[in-house]
Structures are given as C-alpha cells and as structure tokens.
Amino acid sequence: MEHEHTHNHSQHSMNAPMGMAGHNHHKMMVDDFKKRFYITLIITVPVMLLSPMIQLWFHFSIAFKGSAYLLLSLSTVVFFYGGMPFLKGLADELKQRALGMMTLIAVAITAAYAYSVATVFGLAGMDFFWELCTLILIMLLGHWIEMKSVAGASRELELLVQLMPSDAHMIMGEMIHEVKTDSLKEGDLILIKSGEKVAADGIILEGESYLNESMLTGESVPVKKIKDDKIIAGSINGSGSLKVTVTHSSKDSYLSRVIKLVDDAQKTKSKTQLLADKAAKILTIVALVAGFSTFFFWWLVAKEPIVFALERMVTVIVICCPHALGLAVPLVVAISTSLSAKNGLLIKNRTAFENARKITTIIFDKTGTLTYGKFEVARIVSLTANIDEKEIVRIASALEQNSEHPIATGIIAKAKEFSVAIPSVSSFNSLTGKGIEAVVEGKNIKVVSPGYLKENKIALPENYSGTNAETIVFVIINDELAGYIALADKIRSESAEAIRTLHENNIKSLLLTGDNAMVAKSVSDELKMDGFFAEVLPHQKLEKIKELQNKGEFVAMTGDGVNDAPALAQADIGIAVGSGSDIAAETAGIVLVNSNPQDIASLILFGKATYKKMIQNLIWATGYNVIALPLAAGVLYKWNIMLSPAMGAVLMSLSTIVVAINAKMLKVKSVK
C-alpha cells in the first residue's frame, strides 16, 4: 500500500486491547505532524525573508555577512526536522521494496536540498531553499489534515469501544462489589442500576426495564426487557434496575465481537482497494520516470538552467504523489464499516459488501426475517351475543398465563394490549395434544384445538378457517362454544417496503421455507414477491441456491445461521440475520443485528453507495494528475503558465482533502 508509512497507523489504532492503546498511538502521530508543521512554519518565515528570489520579487534586500550560511542552517533544520517523516518513510519503503509516496516526497526534497547546498558552496545558480521549506510545510499540513480525517473515520469504532463501561456492580451474597468489567465471567451476577450502561451480555434474573440499544442495533426505540430476556453489553438501561446473570465474559461479549468484526473488516483489503494499490504503484513509477525525463529535457534538450530543470522535476514528482490515491479507498472503507456497525449491519467480508451491488436475487428465509417469528393474535371471533372479544381474550389468558407455548405468549400479549386483569384459575388440567382446561370464576373453561371439537362432535363454526397461515384455538365456556382466537406468525410491517425497494433496484426476491406451500404462497403473494420454495429441508436449501446460480443469478441468501450455514456459504453473499447468538455465523459475509428485512435493502443501497464513493475517489485521485502533471512538466511554459513546487504541493494536498471530504459524505440510506 503506497501510503503504508503514515496511514497504516489508522489501522494500528485498533490493534491494541479494545482499541484504546492504538488510539493513543494514532493521536500521538497526529500531534507529531502538528508540532512539526508549526515549528517548520516558524522557521520558514526567516528563510523566506533571507531568500534572494523573494527579495527580488518584493523589491527589498536583507543581506549581511554570512546570511547565506544562516539561510542554509535554517533550511537544514527544516529539511531534517520537518522532512524526517518522509525520509524515514523512504527508508521503510526501500526496505519493503515497495516504492511509494514517501519515496517520491523524499526524492523531491532531497534533490532540492542537495542542489541548494551546492549553490551555497559555489555552484552557479540560485538556491531553492524557500521552495524546499514551503514544500515541506505544505506536505506536513496535508499529512496532518489527512491523518485527522483518518482518525475521524476510526472514531466510530472508538465510540463502540467506549460503550463498554469500565466497572460493574457484582452481587456476592448480600454484598455488592465494584469490579472491573473485563474480570466478569459466565455465571456472575451483576446489578444494573437505572440509567447505567449494561456491563456484560446476560439474561435478566430479576426486574424489568426499557433498554436503549440504538448504538448497537440502529433501532432508536427503547426495547422492553423482562425476566429471562437477553440483554446486550453496551446498551443503556432505562428507569428500572435489573439483576443479570452474565452469559459471556467481556472479551466474548456481543459488543467485543462487533468491535473485532468492524476492525477486521477495516483491515481486510477488498478488490477495489487492491485496484487502488496497483494504481498508486503505477503512479509512483510514472512520477519518477516523468520527473527525471522532465529534468533531462529542460536541462539537456531545452538548455535551460539546471535550477529551472530541477524545479520542474521536483514539481512533477510532488504533484504525482499518490497521496489521494492511497486514501481513496481506505477512508471509504473505514467510514462505511463504522457507519454500518452503527446501523446494525456488521461487515465481516469487505468483498461481499462491495459485491452487494451485483445482487440479482435475494432468497429470504421466512421465519423471523419477513415475519416476526412469533405468534400474534390475528383475529378474535365471538360466537355468542353476550361475550365480546375482550372477554374471550380475558378468559383464555387466564388458562394460558403459566404456559411458555408460542400460542400462549401470543394470547397473553393481546390481554396486555387490551389492559385486562387476568383472573386466577383452579383445577388446571392439560388435555394432551388438544388444549387445556381449568375453572375460572366458577366456570369451566377449555382452550382447545379444532381437533378437540371434531373428536367431541362439536360443530365447527362456518368458514372459520381464515387463511392457511393461521393457527386457531377455540374457547369453550361450560361446554358451550363461545368463540375462537386466530393466531399467525405475523408478517413484519417493514417487509413489504423492503421487497418494494428491492424491486425498484431490479432485484428479485424469493421465499425459502420449510412451511407448507399454502403458508408460503400466502406470505409470498401478500408481499408481492417473485416466487417461493416451500417444504424445503435444510440440506435442500443449498441445492436451490446452486440451481439459481447455474441460471446466472448473483444470489444473496439471508438466514439465521444454524441450519442455514451451508446455504449461506454457497450463496454469492451470505447474510446472517438475528442478533446475539448467531453473530458468529462464520459462513456469512455480513451479519444483520436486527431481523429487519429493511436492513437488507439498506445494505444493498449502502453497498452501492460505498462502491460509488470509492470509484469517485479513484477517478478524482488519478484524474487530477492527468491535468496537473503536464502543467508541472512545463507544457505551457511558452505561455508563461507554470506550477511552482509549492503550488504543486498545495494541489496535491488539496486533492487529498477532496478525497477525504468526499468519503466523509457517505451516508447509510435508510429505507425506513
């Protein structure tokens, strides 16, 4: 990588434990350039005043015995102190046999310095000191600004690091001890007070509260958490206090894994990055060849003074520094990875992310992605005049209140929504495979399946069946059928919007499910998808993907990690969906924290935007050279249009800043 010497520090910044030590190292680098810049600036002022060329232009004269030697001494300080990062960089690049930007800058300033020293000791010609000093000054400024923007790109990662509180309240018997977060291990019991950050991944043992997980998942709405719910380290607790059993030590926590994923993704080189590196290498060779050719042309062919030829050479070499090119891709990578992490898209494989723009077909695993993956009450139907919907739910919830069954949780959720007080029950009895019965407020109540009605020859109500995607339970009061509740794995409200966005981008969406064809068809039709595969067993998913790939489709597969692993690996892009446990879905290139299908659409749009930014930056970084290089070489010399080395350095630094600003303008387009 051409910009290895300086910019790789942006990568180092996360190598240390949890990133902090590396961050300090990067900050020291930025401060070092800043200090060198200011000291060089102070010394450059007297150098300018003592330079004969400047005096000639501005019609003043400062000359005294030994002024030339003072000029030489000051310039020598600037060359060695201000130019040191570049000279060191030259040594590093030669050692690695990778000629790059540092080589160019070092060659340019060394040529300028050596020639100027020679003029002081008798070589005919005018010295080059003021140009040397301004050149180094502008180079330092360019590096300083650029490193600050690189630091900015890594800052989101630092923010993730800072989400983890350093201390935790550990419960030991009756006592609460303050311990360091990184000493927590699985099975420890901790207390999370209101307003505090959660210190470790865990399961709530006691208490309930609303937690803000936005920094981890991109979801802005606080999420209600009750006993037995999982919570993620780094989320912010609301007003309730919680006792939590730790499920992972801090280094294995969800947040640490996110940080590691982001860090790894920023370090892995993508194809575009390799393209940029190649371009930078070519540009380095072009710069050196063009620089020396320019020198020999003006000196030997055009018979111009050596100082003029040297000035052209230095300007050409400086202007060609592949600074902007070296930054074009890494900055976009750093920013896009951090932004993605904040929006619940974790990029494990950079190439997969950049290839998101090529997707032609997305396969959705139904449960939990397009649907909520949990039963919700879809309809309540009363069959007797004196009992309303609320009453049916109130009575059914009494029987279901102690069950963990998905149907039970759906009914209880509805009772809470209706704000009904759930009555207590007695004589509870389970009717194996058919339902449950109990006595509620002196009445005999049964909540049963259609099978129970058939068995007991109770007439099924007319056209009760609804859609095939529903599960129905009947409520019987004192042996009289009172009504029924239809539950369904509800389609997420965001699914239709996500599918529509995909269609707008000419991407087909297919449903892949183990459910029967009727359920699959009803979901596929409702969402206006392009088709479905139903009753597919886990090992057949891979075959379906291969079939599509053989037809020339570029396939992305979304799945929840476990039984989908082979299919995720087979797909051109594997997207693992669902938080926490499956973050390590090793086979997926991208992990979505939420199970929200809109995130998949966002991912594709963001992948396209990121790629576009990289290409824009590459075009800008190489394109400006096409215009600047001939100007620097003196093509328009006849018309008195020339670029000075300092002006060349300004243009070079400016191109770098344009690239940095362009990268900073990258945004996650939300489909929401």
Judged on CB neighbours under 10 Å (0-12, 13-18, 19+), 26 is buried
* pLDDT interval class at 362 (50, 70, 90): very high
Across the chain, mean pLDDT equals 77
Judged on CB neighbours under 10 Å (0-12, 13-18, 19+), 100 is buried
* pLDDT interval class at 508 (50, 70, 90): very high
> Does position 39 have pLDDT exceeding 90, yes or no?
yes
- The first and second tokens of residue 265, run together, are 């993704």
In the chain, what are the helix, strand and coil shares in percent, each to the nearest 5?
A: 55, 15, 30
- In whole angstroms, give the CA distance from residue 293 to residue 309: 10
DSSP one-letter code for 70 = H
Count each helix (H run) and each strand (E run) in the chain, helices first.
Answer: 22, 22
Closest Cα to residue 557, out of 363, 279, 387? 363
- In whole angstroms, give the CA distance from residue 612 to residue 178: 49
Q: What percent of the chain has pLDDT over 70?
A: 78
Give residues with Cβ within 8 angstroms of 92, minimum separation 6.
4, 5, 102
> Directed axis angle between helix 101-120 and helix 271-296, to 10°?
20
Cβ contact 478:495 at 8 Å: no
> Does position 549 have pLDDT exceeding 80, yes or no?
yes
* pLDDT interval class at 6 (50, 70, 90): very low
Closest Cα to residue 491, out of 605, 596, 604? 596
Closest Cα to residue 508, out of 567, 541, 542, 554? 554
Count of C-beta atoms within a 10 Å radius of residue 405: 11
* pLDDT interval class at 551 (50, 70, 90): very high
Cβ contact 671:601 at 8 Å: yes
Q: What is the pLDDT of residue 373?
A: 66
Query: What confidence tens digit (pLDDT) does each residue in 618-628 have?
Result: 888 777 777 77
End-to-end CA distance of the chain, in Å?
38
Query: What confidence tens digit (pLDDT) does each residue in 96-144 have?
Result: 877 766 777 787 778 778 877 877 887 656 667 777 787 788 778 767 7
Query: What confidence tens digit (pLDDT) does each residue in 374-427 have?
Result: 777 888 888 888 888 888 888 888 888 877 666 788 888 888 888 888 888 888
Closest Cα to residue 383, out of 470, 448, 476? 476
Q: What is the pLDDT of residue 351?
A: 77
**Of 38-42, 86-90, 222-226, minimum mean pLDDT range:** 222-226
SS3 category, 90: helix
- In whole angstroms, give the CA distance from residue 257 to residue 122: 65
- In whole angstroms, give the CA distance from residue 233 to residue 367: 26
Report the range out of 25-29, 221-225, 467-471 with the highest average pLDDT: 221-225
* pLDDT interval class at 258 (50, 70, 90): low
> Does position 520 have pLDDT exceeding 50, yes or no?
yes
Please give the domain boundaries of the chain with CATH numbers for all domains: 4-160+261-339+608-664 (no CATH), 167-252 (2.70.150.10), 345-370+492-593 (3.40.50.1000), 372-490 (3.40.1110.10)
Residue type, 249: S
Report the range out of 336-340, 437-441, 624-628 with the highest average pLDDT: 437-441
In degrees, to the nearest 5, what angle opens at C-alpha 57 toward C-alphas 55 and 58?
65
Task: Return the higher-pLDDT residue of 607 and 350.
Answer: 607
Mean pLDDT across 246-252: 78
Backbone phi and psi for residue 650, each to the nearest 5 degrees, phi listed first: -60, -50
Count of C-beta atoms within a 10 Å radius of residue 436: 22
Q: What is the pLDDT of residue 668?
A: 65
Starting at the earlier edge strand, list the strands of the sheet with 532-533.
345-347, 590-592, 573-577, 555-559, 361-365, 508-512, 532-533
What is the per-residue DSSP string for 233-274? TT-EE-SS-EEEEE-S-GGGSHHHHHHHHHHHHHHS--HHHH
* pLDDT interval class at 5 (50, 70, 90): very low
> Does position 19 have pLDDT exceeding 60, yes or no?
no
Mean pLDDT across 594-598: 77
Find residue 206's DSSP bridge partners: 243
> Does position 240 have pLDDT exceeding 70, yes or no?
yes
DSSP one-letter code for 197 = B
- In whole angstroms, give the CA distance from residue 283 to residue 280: 5
Task: Return the higher-pLDDT residue of 67 and 562.
Answer: 67
Mind telling me the catalytic residues? 365
Find residue 574's DSSP bridge partners: 557
- In whole angstroms, give the CA distance from residue 570 to residue 585: 14
* Whether the model pTM is above 0.75: no
Give residues with Cβ within 8 angstroms of 313, minimum separation 6.
108, 111, 291, 292, 294, 295
Closest Cα to residue 213, out of 233, 196, 187, 243? 233
Q: What percent of the chain has pLDDT over 90?
A: 5
> Does position 496 have pLDDT exceeding 70, yes or no?
yes
* pLDDT interval class at 671 (50, 70, 90): very low
* pLDDT interval class at 582 (50, 70, 90): very low
> Does position 38 have pLDDT exceeding 90, yes or no?
yes
Q: What is the pLDDT of residue 81?
A: 92
The CA–CA distances, whole Å, from 98 to 105, 319, 324, 408 equal 14, 19, 17, 66
DSSP one-letter code for 645 = H
> Does position 587 have pLDDT exceeding 50, yes or no?
yes
Q: What is the pLDDT of residue 7?
A: 40
Q: What is the pLDDT of residue 24?
A: 60
